Amino acid sequence: MKYPIVIYPCDGEGYVAEIPALKGCIAQGETLPETLEELEIVANLWIETAIKHGRTLPDIDNAIQRVKALSHSGSC
């Protein structure tokens, strides 16, 4: 599944990445590849747990639209 992700640089070093559609699905790493690798692990666990408990997964198209709306509403 291809949910949109948001990546933030940390104040010191490294990155934080999250999948907004999957509440609490967040990962951190020292490098961008490490961060994305960790996020993939967390996302897979999040999805496996949701399925195990009979929860419906968020719609990917809606998730994409929400992230697009958030990215257009921010100001620099």
Query: What are the residue ranges spanned by the domains of the chain?
Result: 6-73
pLDDT of residue 50: 95
Looking at domain 6-73, its CATH class is alpha beta
* Strand bridging mode 26-29 / 15-18: antiparallel
- Is 13 a residue whose pLDDT tops 70? yes
* Interval 27-64: pLDDT, tens: 999 999 999 999 999 999 999 999 999 999 988 888 88
Give residues with Cβ within 8 angstroms of 56, minimum separation 6.
Answer: 50
Distance (Å, whole) CA 32 – CA 15: 6
